[in-house]
Structure 1
Amino acid sequence: MQSSEIELVYFSATGTTRKIIQTIGKTLPIPKNDRNLLLNPIRNDISMAADHLTVVAMPVYNGRLPDYCTQSLMHLKGNGTPAIAVVVYGNREYDDALLELKTLLEKNGFIVLGAAAFIARHSIFPQVATDRPDENDLALVKDFTNRCIEKLTSSSTVSDFKPFEVKGNFPYKEARSVPMKPSSGEDCNVCGTCAQICPVHAITVSDTKTQTDENLCISCGACITACPSESRQYRGEDYEKFKGKFIERFSRRKEPEWFL
């Protein structure tokens, strides 16, 4: 079975999920369409042709897919379309996120031929998995991609794919908002870059300061990555207290896992 085009669909607030899916894309020698949900969420149904291999890569927030992402993915429709499901997590655990992504895609008409969980720098505590994905990770990303290609090309139709299971549990763990939210410091120059990049419009800018609506903020870290003055950060006594415990508990290196 051959694919005429590749659809790369991802959400990457801090750039690490993008690095992984772009590595997948470079390993696939077929024309690709790039869909970055951070910049362009899907608000209306999009139908993927049966010969458009669709790669979906999502971050893991507290063991689940971000609701912001699932709202877009619900509009992504397959027509017996082969798909690769990827989640990226910060070295703690991916819990039910990969199962959630695989199940969502299958319910929407995709045939998932491979699924994987890769590790990247933690978005809230960047001292954990600081340099990941590293060269070893990216080599495994390529290996996984090549195995998916082999599985796809050795099959006549998607009906030849054998069902497989991934880690995760039904019902999914409760989706909880991350209590820590980034804010601007005294060195903020009120340029408005953070407000422009925020996918949920949680940041407002006045003449003298920026303000974050913590009820809207999903703690994705896009504003921190984009801030030209590096003023946007996670801060505060509770953050510093929890940071030490998190680093101590989750710094031991974990390795990617995949399922075919």
Structure 2
Amino acid sequence: MFKVSEVFFSPGSTTKKVVKEISSKFDGEKDCYDLLKEHNKIILQEFQEDELLIIGLPVFSGRIPQIVKVDLENLKGNNTLAIPVVVYGNRDYDDALLELKEILDKNGFKTITAGAFVAQHSIFPETAKNRPDSKDLEKINEFTTKTIEKIEDYTNNKENFKEITVPGNKPYREIQGVPLKPTSNKNCTECGTCATLCPTKAIDIENPKSTDGSKCITCTACIYACPEDAREFNKLMFVPASKLFAKKCSERKEPEFFY
């Protein structure tokens, strides 16, 4: 039986949902590391050979969120099995899964399986709305069942372990900033929830209505966390951008697994 550690960065909670769904099929002790709430707070964590790491990250501009790389550097494996997953909003995951896998490889983990899953887009929620849905959950269960079989086989035949490959290109896709930045509207009560959660400290805790656009990475955590629906994008920019994005990404994409 493996001790399971869940690691995720999930501003809109969909990546967390995917990781938790995978983790739920494993028995035994579990630890949880929320990289949104614990960003820059994780000290060196070493994982042993009898442990399992399930790590999920959203896709930002075809890459993993660069802000979490400092946290990932503090996760060290000792031939520890890992399940890297990326979650994207029905456009493409580009080089994100490869980037995550290569970080884990460098840090002493062994990727046993990997997956790319679709969820409601964090910026344009009308795209892939309400995903992961029931069909996605069936696919996640299928992926997890196969993963458990592979882990059992690995446990009995460690010498036959074969490195898996995942899609992606080197050099990685160039990161392009998102011009849309959330700001406060008239509903804001200055409760500070958004400022407390913001991983880049782009929102002033003393004046939550103020947002530093140069620091904001448009992760949308503030939008989903606000109890007053007081965080939003400029409608003059958002409405046409949302329609254009929905048109380009209307065809349903399905999860992809790598064993």
Pairwise same-fold verdict (TM > 0.5): yes
CA distance in 2, matches of 1:34, 1:214: 31
Matches within 5 A, 1:97-246: 97-155=96-154, 156=156, 158-206=158-206, 210-246=209-245
Distance 1:157 1:69, change over 3 A: farther
- Report the RMSD for the aligned CA atoms in angstroms: 1.4
Displaced runs of 4+ in structure 1, greater than 3 A? none
Q: What secondary structure does 1:70 align onto?
A: helix
Residue deviations 1:219-258 (CA, integer Å, cap 9, x gap)? 1111111111101012242222211110111021100001
| Structure 1 residue 81 displacement after superposition | 0.4
> Would you say how many aligned residue pairs link Structure 1 and Structure 2?
257
Residue deviations 1:90-114 (CA, integer Å, cap 9, x gap)? 0000000000011110011000000
CA distance in 1, matches of 2:9, 2:88: 13
Distance 1:258 1:28, change over 3 A: same
Is 1:111–1:158's contact at 8 Å kept on the other side of the alignment?
no
Identity among equivalent positions (%) equals 42
CA distance in 1, matches of 2:159, 2:252: 37
Question: Which residue of structure 1 aligns with residue 249 of structure 2?
Answer: 250
The one of 3, 16, 19 aligned to 2:17 = 19
Matched residue type, 1:251: S
Is 1:164–1:259's contact at 8 Å kept on the other side of the alignment?
yes
Q: What secondary structure does 2:257 align onto?
A: strand
Q: TM-score scaled by structure 1?
A: 0.95
Unaligned runs of 5+ in 2: none
Q: What secondary structure does 1:153 align onto?
A: helix
Residue deviations 1:14-69 (CA, integer Å, cap 9, x gap)? 11011111101111122211111111125432111111111110000010001112
Unaligned runs of 5+ in 1: none
Question: Which residue of structure 2 aligns with residue 39 of structure 1?
Answer: 37
Q: What secondary structure does 1:211 align onto?
A: coil
CA distance in 2, matches of 1:175, 1:247: 21
Question: Which residue of structure 1 aligns with residue 67 of structure 2?
Answer: 68
CA distance in 2, matches of 1:235, 1:137: 32
CA distance in 1, matches of 2:159, 2:131: 36
Distance 1:158 1:37, change over 3 A: farther
